[in-house]
A and B are shown apart, each in its own frame.
Chain A
Amino acid sequence: MSANAEKAKLAGVCSVRRKTIRGAFCRLTLNMPMEFPHPAPGQFILISPQPHSYDSQQTRATKFSTRLSRFDMGVPQDRTMLLRPMSIFDYVKAPGRPNGLLTLLFKVVGRGTLSLSGVEPGDRLRFLGPTGNGFNPLECKKTLLVAGGVGISGVNLLCKSLLAGGHPPLFILGVNSKEESPVRLSLTEVVPHHRWAIPKGTEPLRLVVSRMFDIFVPSMVASIYPGDQGAFCGTACELVERLFRANPAYAEKTMLAACGPAPMLEALEETARHYSVRQFLVVLEEKMACGAGTCLGCATRIKDLTDDAREAAFHYERVCTEGPVFDGYRVIYRM
C-alpha cells in the first residue's frame, strides 16, 4: 500500500483551539499551520502530550530569556517525552482560511493521553504529520465500516470521503460499556432516520442515522451493555456476522474496514474469511517512537504471501510507514 507514501509531512507546532471532555474521552480541535498538508483518510499525526516552552512564540520582552531557554530546554522531568500517535478524526480547511482545523478524539489510557487531556485552548503542541499510508482507492462500491469504541477516529475520515463520493457506507459502532456512550452520543448524535433500507437480517433492530459532522450516516450500534436502548446487544463482530449470515451476497461485494482493539479485529477477520468478504482493511495501533520510519519500534507481523496461508512465515512491517492501514487478512493479531 503506497498510495500516499510520498506525501510530505510536517514537523511543526499547532495550537489548541477547543477541548471537550466526556468521561474518559477527550476531543481536541487544533489549529494547524498553513503548510500542513491535507491528510488522506486513515492517516494520523504524532502529537506532543504537553506544550513546551521553547515552542511558544517569542516576544521582544522574552527574547533574552528564550535565548537561554533554547539553550536549556530538553524534556522537563515530570512530563512525557515521546509524541503519541493519534488518528486524524477530522480535518477541515474552510475556503479562504489559511489554517485547517484538525480534530483528535482519544481515550485517556495512560500518562501521555492523560497529559494531552490536560492541555488548554491556546497551548501550542508539537506534532509530526500527517503520516502513514491511508486507505487505498477502494475496489468495492459497498462499504461496511466497523469501529470499536474510540476506533471511530480511525475510520471517520474515510466515512466522510465515501459520503462525499456518493457511496454512503454502513457504519457499525461497537461500544463495550456505558462509559463509551460519550463516543456514541456526544460525538455521533444518534437520530432515527428512514431513508436507508434496513439491512436484511437485522430487521428487529433499529437502523439509526448518526450525524457525523453534519453528514448523515446509516449506522448501527452494538453494545454488550444490556439495556442499551436501540442498540444491538452483543459485540460489533456479532452484528456483522448476523448481517452477513442473512445476506451472504452482500458480504462478497463488500469492503470491510475496521479500527479498534486487536481482539475485535481478529474476530472480524474470521467472519470476513468465512463470508469471503471481498476486501478487508484494518487500522492497526502499535507503540511508536519516531513515527518517521526510522526506529523500527512500531513493527507488526504480516504474513508472507505464500500458497499456504498459515501463520508460519511472516515479516515485520512498520505501522507508521507501511501502515497504519493493512490488509486485514495478512495481519497476525495475536501477541
Chain B
Amino acid sequence: MASNNPQNVDFDDRAEALSLLKTSLGSMELKTPIMIASGTFGYGNEYDRIEGFCMDAVAAIALKGITSKPRQGNPTPRIFETPCGMLNSIGLSNVGVEVLINEKLPALADKKAHVIVNVGGETPDDIIDAARALSYHKRLFSAIEINISCPNLQGTPIGQDFHATRRVVTVIRQMYRRNTVIVKLVPNLSLISEMAVVCEEAGADALTVANSFPGMAIDVFERKPILGANFGGLSGPAIKPLSLLLVHRVRRAVSLPIIASGGISCARDAVEFIIAGASAISVGTALFYDARVCSRINEGIVDFLFEDAKRRGLTCPLPLRDYIGTLTLNG
C-alpha cells in the first residue's frame, strides 16, 4: 500500500494515488476533477494527434460552443496576449448543431472522458433551439452546458437577465431528464449569487463559474482596438483571483456542484478552487501553452494530498473530495 505511511510515500504507485482524485458532479462520476473548458478543445479529437497530451488525465471535455446554425465568427485578429492572460473574440465560430450531431459527436463514441456539449446563441430561443436539436441524440453525450455568458456576442449576455435565464434553464431541463444540465454563469455580475439561485430553482444540476471576463486592448498608434471585433473575453492566470471569489460566493448561495473555470494552470490553483467549493475544475487557456498541463495538475494534487496528510499527522491521505468547500474564513 502506497498510502499507509505518508512519511515514506512510494510515489511510483501512481495508479493507487490517482484514485484519491475521484469526484463526482451530480450523477457524473469523475476519475479526476479535471475537465477541459469549452472553446479550448475544438470538437474533442484535435488533441488525438498530439503526442504528450494524455486523455487519461481528463475526466470530461466540453466541446466548442454550438449554435443552432453554423457561425463564421468574428473578424480577425481574434486573439491577443495580455500579461498572464489573453483576450479572445472568436465569436462562437462553429459548425452548427447539425454537423455536430452527424459528424463530430459520433466520432467521440469511445472517448475515455465524459463529453459535454456547450450550447450558445444570441437569444434565449437560439439556445433552446440548439438544445432541442441535440435532445434527440442525448446518448451521444453525458452533459449539456448552457452558455449564457459568451462575451463575444452582440448586446448583453443572456446570463445578465434573470427572467431569460430562468426560462432557458427551465425549458432545457425539461428536455433532458438523464443528462447533467450545467449552466455557465456570467462572471461580471454583481448579483451572481442570486443568479445561481435562479439556476438552482430552474432545475440545473451544476454550475460552471464562470466564463472569460469582457476586456479590450488598444493599438496606440492606430488608436483602434486591436481585436477585429473590438472587445473580447479575458482568460488565463490573470483572471484566477476573480473567478476564485466567484466560486466562493456561489458556494455560499447554493448547494449545486460547481465547476470552476478561469485561469487554472497548476495544481495549487486547482486545490484552491476545490477548497473554495468547486467539485471539478476546468482547464482552458493553460492547455494552449502546455499540452501536458492536465497530467501535471493531477500529479501535483496527489503530491499535495500526501504532503497535507503528513503535515496533519494522518496515517494516510484523505481523498480529494473531502476537501471540497472546506474553506473557513478568517475570524
Chain A: residues with CB nearer than 8 A to chain B?
6-12, 35, 48, 54, 67-68, 70-75, 77, 80-83, 111-112, 126, 128, 286-301, 315-316, 335
Contacts and interface: CB of A to CB of B under 8 A. Distances in A.
Contacts of A48: 289
A72 B83 contact: no
B52 interface: yes
Given A11-B291, A71-B300, A290 B40 contact: yes
Nearest to B271: A71
Interface in B64-106: 64, 72-73, 76-81, 83-86, 88, 90, 93
Interface string B20-49: 000000000000000000011110001101
Contact of B79 (A126, A295, A300): A295
Contact of B76 (A54, A286, A289): A286
A8 B51 contact: yes
A53 B39 CA distance: 28
Interface in B48-64: 49-53, 64
A72 B42 CA distance: 28
Nearest to A321: B46
Contact of A83 (B73, B288, B299): B288
Contact of B237 (A35, A74, A293, A300): A74
Contact of B289 (A7, A75, A296, A300): A75
B303 interface: yes
Interface residues of B, number: 48
Q: Which of B40, B72, B79, B269 has the most CB of A within 10 A?
A: B79
Q: Max chain B CB contacts within 10 Å: which of A11, A83, A291?
A: A11
Contacts of B80: 287
A35 B269 CA distance: 31
Chain A's interface: helix, strand, loop or mixed, by majority? Answer: loop
B50 A316 contact: no
Interface of B: 39-42, 46-47, 49-53, 64, 72-73, 76-81, 83-86, 88, 90, 93, 228, 236-237, 265-269, 285-292, 296, 299-300, 303-304
10 contacts: A9-B49, A12-B51, A70-B303, A75-B265, A289-B285, A296-B73, A297-B90, A298-B79, A315-B72, A316-B72
A74 B289 CA distance: 10
B78 to A, nearest CB: 5
Contact of B266 (A35, A73, A112): A73
Contacts of A315: 72
B76 A70 contact: no
Contacts of A126: 289-290
A294 B81 contact: no
Specify which of A67, A80, A81, A316 lies most central, judged by the most chain B CB atoms within 10 Å of its CB: A81
B84 A299 contact: no
Contacts of B76: 286, 299-301, 335
Nearest to A9: B50
A128 B64 CA distance: 21
A295 B47 contact: no
Contacts of A295: 39-40, 42, 79, 88, 90, 288
Contact of A316 (B81, B93, B266, B288): B93
Contacts of A301: 76
B88 A11 contact: no
A9 B51 contact: yes
Contacts of A298: 78-79
Contact of A11 (B53, B83, B299): B53
A72 B78 contact: no
A289 B42 CA distance: 13
Contact of A72 (B86, B266, B287): B266
B64 to A, nearest CB: 7
B266 A71 contact: yes
B323 to A, nearest CB: 14
B46 A77 contact: no
Nearest 10 A/B pairs, CB to CB: A11-B52, A11-B291, A294-B42, A74-B265, A297-B79, A71-B300, A74-B266, A290-B288, A10-B51, A71-B267
B286 A74 contact: yes
A82 B238 CA distance: 13
Contacts of A10: 50-52
Contacts of A292: 42, 46-47, 50, 291
B50 A70 contact: no
A134 to B, nearest CB: 15
A6 B49 contact: yes
A293 B46 contact: yes
Contacts of A8: 49-51
Nearest to A291: B288
Given A81-B237, A128-B50, A297 B78 contact: yes
Contacts of A6: 49
Given A289-B88, A292-B50, A301-B76, 14 more contacts: A7-B49, A10-B51, A12-B52, A71-B304, A81-B86, A126-B289, A293-B42, A293-B46, A294-B47, A295-B288, A296-B90, A299-B76, A315-B72, A316-B93
Contacts of A112: 81
Contacts of B53: 11
